Structure 1
Amino acid sequence: MDHEEHRAMPDGLHDWITTRQETLVWLAGLVSLALVGYMALVFGRFLVYWAGSRHAFLHDRPADPGDPAAFQWHLVIPCRDEEAVVAQTLAGLRSTAPRAHLWVIDDDSEDATRELVLAAAGQDPRIHLVQRRRPHARIGKGAALNAAYREISAQLPEDTDRSRVVIGVVDADGRLDPGTLAQVCSDRALGRPDTGAVQIGVRMRNADDELPLPGRGRTANALARALVRMQDVEFQANNAGMQLLRRRTGSVGLGGNGQFVRLTALDSLTADEGRAGRPWPERALLEDYESGLDLRLAGWRLTHVTERQVSQEGLVSLRRFLTQRTRWAQGNMQCLRYTGRVLRSPHYTAAGKAEVMYTFLQPVVCVLLVLLTPLSLAITAAGLVLFPAETAEFQLRFGPYMLLALGLATLPMVFWGLAYRRLVHPDRGRLTGLLWGVLVWLYAYHLFVVAVRAAVRLLLGRNGWAKTRRNAEAVAAGAPTALES
């Protein structure tokens, strides 16, 4: 509007337009402030959690090993089309845990898994096959683990001291470090009678593989190496710090690979008639973490062991990686139904409840940020067009705080890269550790992608459980089976 038009405008219309402009500026500023406040709250919450994890990580002290002979060990290996890895896994477990019984759950495999296990069992009486067939098979890992629980319970003599029986869960490609069982039964772990379960650390054994994709080009292999390395940093640094923090707050989470549970703890979960013979949740996408929640709610202590680890293959395919992590995020969202029970539980401390709620809400926070970020950008763009002076003033006032928040979100990730280098690869230079830290920061953004995918699946009622293909598998064997809703 030029000067002459402004003079010709009636005073009442001019006042009306001015009032509406001021109202729109005020509303845009209010929404922008709310978004800034929300993001500040999210970053603050993240920084507090990171600071606790960092302190626990830096002050971890090793425990003296216990006596594995004081316990009876049963290692359970869920298998669904695992012919590519199962034979090597059995051989590795027999080497590191020679006294343990190995129970392979064949979840109606369509390849040679069953035949390979039977051949191994024919030469080793401590290897057992638990055979499952559809329609009772392929409905989730929890159901497979429950089948092994029932089989083991049925074969134990009646006079067995079930508090001295330990069931360990190992992935079909999992390999235990020598001395793992001794650390699992230390005085800080299952050596304490109130300890119901122990989770050990996890690492990617192909993190140093120079050619994760044989036959592919240099770029594809470089990206695959970076993806595997980031998974290794995630588990050996980020997740280790998180679990050590949880050890302090009494809210350790159990994972699908490397968890060890006292049989009497599992028994306590089956006291309810509705769960007879089924200690693990059967309709859960994250049955490992949920089983930990159930055990803690039942009053059992859970702890984490860093002295020994279980190794597994890091995924080299981005598509398979995102599929796996989407399932994890969706399973995390399913855990929100535990909120009331956790907050009312006398077995969780205030710090433990806060930590659990942080974990529960992490994918929800990611989804909200994904939804709010375009809104914030749209408001800013509209403001620059309609009210350029006021919007520019607002950006100058609050822009530095946004940049500060971005920097505060980056630095913690860089720390994990440097910590990983010091712990795992002290032979590498600090510059390499810094590079890994920057890559960890970029890698963390996958959480937003999988959280949105998980939310969409949840809204559509798509709760199918699909096994993640191994790197050695050329094609996927079998289709995912939908869980009952």
Structure 2
Amino acid sequence: MPPARFLASPTRWVAALAIGLVAAAFNLGVWWLFQGRVSAPDHSGMVAGLSYSGADRWQNPLAGQRPSPESLARDLDLLARHTDRIRTYSAADHPTLPEQAREHGLELMLGAFLSHDLDSNQRELQAAIGLARSHPNIRRLIVGNETQLTAQLPPNRLANYLDRARSALASTTVQVSTAEPWHVWLDQPQLAQHVDFIAIHVLPYWEGEPIGSAVQASLDRIAQVQARFPGRDVVVAEIGWPSNGQPIGRARATPANQARFVRDFLQQADARGIDYFLIEAFDQPWKIATEGRAGAYWGLWDSWREPKFALSGPIASNPFWTHQAVAACGLGLALALPFLLAARRLGPSPRMALGLAAQGIASLAIVLLSVPLSHYLTGLDLLGLALVLAALGFICATLLAQAFEFVDRFWTGRALPAPTPTPPAEAPAPFISIHLACANEPPEMVIAAVESLLAIDWPAFEVIVVDNNTTDPQARQQLAQWMNSHPDPRLRFVQYGHLPGFKAGALNQALALTRPEAQWVAVIDADYLVDPRWFKAVQAHLQDPSVGVVQAPQAHRQWHQRPLDRMMNWETEGFFRIGMHHRHERNAIVQHGTMTLVRASALQRLRWREDGVCEDTELGLRLLCDGHRAVYVDQVLGTGLLPADLVAYARQRRRWALGAMQIFRQHARSLLGRSPLTLGQRYHFLAGWLPWLGDALHLLFSLVMIVFSLGMIYLPDRVDPPLWLFVAPLMAFFAVRLLAVPLLYARCVPCGLTDRLGAAVAGMALSHRIAKGVWQGLRGHHAVFDITRKAAATGSPSHAPAAPPYAGPPVARGIEEELGLLAGLVFCMLLLWFTRGPGDAGRLGWIAILFIQSLPYWATLVCRVLEQRGSRTSAQPTASSRAHPVNRPS
């Protein structure tokens, strides 16, 4: 949460509330606009018949779970108020049902369930015949349900069962038939010789009929059967439409379409005298396992026995939209208010945009939270829902944070005010100790950095160079020889063969060697060339006793040589042009390990922490906890070298992500509990890590989606395409990344469209390595400080230790994991494409989602191809580059 000042003036509260309420009203209007009304004929009479299965929400007849007589009585009492006939599907399972139906005045079309189990068929047939003989309210008997459609029985065996039933009931008035879809009767007309009437199923949804023509198509099917069997009674034993489920062709299963179909058909059936049974009385969630998701949603009532729609009056596309809309507007207002109070310097337009963004995010959250209320979830669905709900809070927080950053930077696009170039005349120049730690760095690169430091225009400073853990004896000797022979007394040099603590250990050694009069400690990386004006440019801040850190941006030189270099450069620029500006207003900048100045007294007390790989950011957080102010000066005062290649670039970002999670684990109490940190400081540190946590979730989702896709392919009867709402957070996250970030770049980062696209691709290419760093950091993975190989030093044998031999194709070198995940996603996309049915919109939508999920891995491949095709020239630091180190665009 940003630093909302809840004790602010009433005027600010009124202004924030006014903007929040206007945004909420707009959101309410959007909800109303998208909740259309569907017209359909009213039906005021009874329904001719309903098919009935008594299982409730958690019962599964396939597992032997049956409703109690009390439950049956409750259902029959409800049904008797709307119909006088019901159809059942099993006789042996509900021996008391016929008598209970009679007590409620219900006529029964009894079913005898048949399958490939001959013993079970014998029990069913005997039970059905016995009940039909003894209960006068049983007028018809259905022997077998869709046994020919599902190939459960050969036609001659079914005919034998039918003949046995008719013979056993010849002395009664009970009529016997079997129930099959309409086309089966046309394909097997010989069945009519063994039945007393024709019982057909007409289900246009399964045939992919659009709702606009579904009723007429059903009437045509009925007429076809009547014409094929003239003089025979044709009973529509099942007809209806589901309220939910996967799209089939142009058929869409929605509550509004179900209500429209049922009411349209009832009007036509009454006018034409059609004998029918609507499928079905109550939703049956257990049918998901056998019929797919739509199988659960054919009821006129849901599984809790609540009506799903009215048979008269207007039809709402979403009956619960008013409750959802009010909840969304209220949540959106609550989310927006802290940000509106914090963004006091923004004008009305960006504040309104912020309020609308909060309303949109709240609406997404409410829709997602409504999923369990409108769907019957399987065990697999519940697992997916648990993942989604766990991610929902994260997604909403990420979107809110990015919306806040967007409006803060896009509408203003402002640069930070430049510091006063000189302090008051009486203020003396403080003594500054400059620390440079190096390990396995090319000696010529370190020497160039030291020469630029010794050229700084400042009256009182020293340079301490600590070479630790360099493994190449030649490099150690060459560096020591140059350092020890340099005549400048301001330069001091020490070497350690095995120094623990990574870079922090070396910096603590430098701190121990620092002269007592030092008031500030400056730190740079070994590849940096600094501007001689560095200290004078920030001198005013050094005189401010409240300031504990003065941070200049990381910047690069020699980034024009290859396309990948440009992409890496501009991707990094985005944070310093956007994120650091955004953080500076709330004294929450990220301290970086180069081009930084730290107050010496605070550093001597706090020291660098040696058990992490991001000692710079960790120290910056502790300095903020200590009450110091951190200043960001957006002026390029030194430039370093880019990572040598894509692998070095990705490993560097993985280390940053791992270190960030280490910091979170170490300082969770300060960030989440009571601490001296302000709300704004906590907010920016936590919000700054959210995109990296999003990358971690992306990796998890990629693995889950591959497994889920394989289930859809190889276990199609058990695994349906997931509810689209389950992947809505992923879609929202990518929508923000693909739309908002380029807009911010266009506003705040001085590069063209090609470079903006390149920066976006480079950022996505890092997703997998960031994800690995996050997961490793969260689980307390033992970290090793990876030294980033630099572009101008790739040919030096004295640089970082060589990688192990690699025998694979060059394009896969170092990115095998990303290509493996890409191959897995593409494999699933191809299999789903070639195994999809006609009009299988569910699979097509899932293929599109898999493609979106694969974009970061495609980005990695694109970066590798550009790297290999780009220029391999990597110039060493030259006199020209040392004389003019600052070539960052402004």
- TM-score bracket for this pair, using the shorter chain length: 0.7 to 0.9
Contact 1:78–1:172 (8 Å) recurs in 2: yes
Deviation per CA, 1:252-290: give whole Å up to 9, x if none. 111111110111111332xxxxxxxxx000111000100
The equivalent position to 1:257 in structure 2, one of 594, 605, 611, is 594
CA distance change for structure 1 residues 64 and 2 in 2, over 3 Å: closer, same or farther? farther
Alignment of 1:465-476 (within 5 A): 465-471=785-791, 472-474=793-795, 475=797
Aligned partner of 2:439: which letter?
R
Pairwise mapping of residues 421-440 of structure 1 onto structure 2 (< 5 A)?
Answer: 422=750, 433-440=752-759
Residue deviations 1:454-479, cap 9 Å, x none? 24645583312232223314346565
Partners of 1:465 and 1:404 lie apart in 2 by 34
Establish whether residue 61 from structure 1 lines up as the match of residue 417 from structure 2. yes
Report the RMSD for the aligned CA atoms in angstroms.
3.8
Residue in structure 2 matched with residue 79 of structure 1 by the alignment: 438
Equivalent position amino acid for 1:43 in 2: L
In structure 2, relative to structure 1, the CA distance for the partners of 1:442 and 1:44 (3 Å cut) is: farther
Is the alpha carbon distance of 1:55 and 1:288 closer, same or farther for their aligned partners in structure 2, counting shifts above 3 Å?
A: farther
* Matching residue of 2:842: none
Q: TM-score, normalised by structure 2?
A: 0.44
Aligned residue in 2 for 1:364: 693
How many angstroms apart in 1 are the aligned matches of 2:691 and 2:681? Answer: 15
1:167 maps onto 2:529 in alignment: no
In structure 2, do the counterparts of structure 1 residues 179 and 47 end up closer, same or farther at CA, with 3 Å as the change threshold?
same
Task: Give the letter for the 1:354 counterpart.
Answer: Y
2:533 alignment counterpart: 179
Q: Which residue of 1 aligns with 2:337?
A: none
Number of equivalenced pairs = 431
Which has a greater percent of helix?
1
Q: Could you say if the C-alpha distance between residues 16 and 441 of structure 1 is closer, same or farther in structure 2, counting changes exceeding 3 Å?
A: closer
DSSP 3-state at the match of 1:123: coil
Q: Distance in 2 between matches of 1:197 and 1:399?
A: 42
Match of 2:574, SS?
Answer: helix
8 Å CA contact retained: 2:650, 2:766 = no
1:452 paired residue among 771, 774, 777: 771
Is contact 1:78-1:141 (8 Å) kept? yes
Query: Which residue of structure 1 lines up, in the alignment, with residue 552 of structure 2?
Result: 200
Quick one: distance in 1 between partners of 2:406 and 2:391? 21
Distance change in 2, residues 1:42/1:102 (3 Å): same
Specify the SS of the correspondent of 1:260.
strand
Alpha-carbon spacing, 1:17–1:412, altered in 2? closer, same or farther (3 Å)? closer
Counterpart of 2:741 (choices 406, 413, 422) is 413
Residue 34 to residue 401, structure 1, CA distance change in 2 (3 Å): closer
Gap change, CA 1:150 and 1:107, over 3 Å in 2: same
Once the 2 structures are TM-superposed, how far is the Cα of residue 53 of structure 1 from its aligned partner? 4.8
Equivalent in 452, 465, 482 of residue 119 of structure 1: 482
Tell me how far apart the structure 2 counterparts of residues 476 and 319 of structure 1 sit (CA, whole Å): 19
Deviation at 1:183, TM superposition (A): 2.4
State the 1:295 CA deviation: 1.0
Q: Does 2:677 match 1:343? A: no
> 2:638 is aligned with what amino acid?
V
Q: CA deviation at 1:251?
A: 1.4
Indicate the larger mover: 290-299 or 236-245: 236-245
1:229 corresponds to which of 562, 566, 569: 566
Inter-CA distance 104–460: structure 2 relative to 1 (3 Å threshold):
same
Deviations 1:413-438 (A, max 9, x none): 3235434663xx6xxxxxxx112222
Identity of paired residues, percent? 19
Higher RCO, Cα 8 Å, sep 6+ = 1
Over 3 Å counting, the alpha-carbon distance change for 1:35 and 1:339 in structure 2 is closer
User: Which amino acid counterpart does residue 651 of structure 2 have in structure 1?
Assistant: T
Where does structure 2 lack aligned partners over 5 or more consecutive residues? 1-144, 151-177, 181-278, 290-294, 298-371, 803-890
Distance in structure 2 (CA, Å) of the matches to 1:34 and 1:383? 23
Structure 1 stretches of 5 or more lacking a match? 210-224, 270-278, 426-432, 481-485
Q: Contact (CA 8 Å) 1:77, 1:171: kept in 2 or not?
A: yes
Name the counterpart of 2:429: 70
1:17 CA drift (Å): 4.9
Is residue 63–residue 307 contact of structure 1 (8 Å, CA) maintained in 2? no
**Corresponding residue for residue 273 of structure 1:** none
Partners in 1 of 2:675 and 2:580 — Cα distance? 21
Compared with structure 1, are the counterparts of its residues 267 and 404 closer, same or farther at alpha carbon in structure 2 (3 Å cutoff)? closer
Q: CA 1:316–1:178 in structure 2 vs 1: closer, same or farther (change >3 Å)? A: same
Change (3 A) 1:283 1:79: same
Aligned position for 1:274: none
- Does 2:492 correspond to 1:128? yes
Question: What CA distance in whole angstroms lies between the structure 2 residues aligned with 1:264 and 1:2?
Answer: 85
Cα deviation, residue 97, structure 1: 3.9
Alignment partner, residue 43 of structure 1? 399
Tell me if 1:190 matches 2:542. Answer: yes
Question: Mean Cα displacement is larger for which, 105-114 or 79-88?
Answer: 105-114
C-alpha separation between the residues in 1 aligned to 2:775 and 2:671?
Answer: 26
Q: CA deviation at 1:360?
A: 4.1
Q: Which amino acid aligns with 2:592?
A: G
Residues 385-409 of structure 1: per-residue CA shift (max 9 Å, x gap): 5699x969x65x8999976654432
- Is the CA contact 1:243–1:304 (under 8 Å) kept in the aligned structure 2? yes
Using a 3 Å threshold, how does the CA distance of structure 1 residues 464 and 245 change in structure 2: closer, same or farther? Answer: same
Indicate if the aligned counterparts of 1:418 and 1:436 stay in contact, CA closer than 8 A.
no
Identify which range, 110-119 or 364-373, moves more after superposition: 110-119
1:442 to 758, 761, 765: 761
